[in-house]
Homo-oligomer: A and B are copies of this chain.
Amino acid sequence: MGHAATSGTRFNGTNMSLKHAILTLLETEQGSGYDLLKRFKERLGFFWNASHQQIYLQLKKMHSEGLIEFETQTQQGKPDRKVYHITKPGHDALMQWIETPIKISKVNDGLLVKLYAGHLVDISVIQKEIAEHKDMHTRMLNTFLEFEKDFKALNSEQKKQFSLPYLTLRRGILGEHAWLQWAQEVEEYFK
């Protein structure tokens, strides 16, 4: 007994923030808050999640800090679009962040707290919830596998171009596989 799971250097380094994820997206291509929201969902969904409120608020803050600028596009009928682009200070801040060690990402999983406390209730309550989560994870895995199929259909030059995003996609795929494998172990334990 007595080996602590969280020990030593586990939480060192600079904190990650939404800010740098946004800078990364704007570095490649300018866009509005709504554009960024879509990019988060479509391109970073397997390793970063952000709500529209969070994004709009962060953009406002980053603008006040001079990391980004915007041009207002008055559209026919539709609400105005603020198209943000990264500035030199924004680019520098991103570069500096990339070179600074980052913390290991924190895990806080409520479902496992429930499982841990499962003796307090009829275990079917927990089983049911795990089954629901399993559905969600299965859907996510399938989405990720679709992305992978798209990637594999590319020619070798395009593959090279998208290799880094692809590696992040692999993280999503392997992570979901592991989750589902675990869920199966749990199911087998309970049956």
For this chain, the copies found in one complex come to 2
Interface band, chain A: 35 or more
* B-contact 0/1 string along A135-171, CB 8 Å cutoff: 0110110011011001000000000000111011011
Minimum CB–CB distance from A186 to chain B (whole Å) comes to 6
Is B111 in contact with A102, judged by CB distance below 8 angstroms?
Answer: yes
CB of B167 within 8 A of CB of A4, answer no
Interface of A is mostly: helix
Q: Is the CB of B144 within 8 A of A120?
A: no
A5 and chain B: residue at smallest CB distance: B45
Q: How far apart sit A119 and B102, CA to CA, in the bound complex (Å)?
A: 18
CB distance from A126 to the nearest CB of B (A): 8
Query: Are A167 and B189 closer than 8 Å at their CB atoms?
Result: yes
Whether the Cβ atoms of A174 and B167 lie closer than 8 Å is: no
**CA of A137 to CA of B46 in the docked complex: distance in angstroms?**
19
A-B contact pairs, 12 of them (CB 8 A): A3-B42, A4-B45, A5-B144, A9-B136, A46-B112, A47-B108, A94-B120, A102-B110, A103-B110, A105-B107, A109-B171, A115-B167
Q: Which 6 A-B pairs have the closest CB atoms?
A: A5-B45, A16-B110, A178-B178, A47-B112, A24-B117, A6-B45
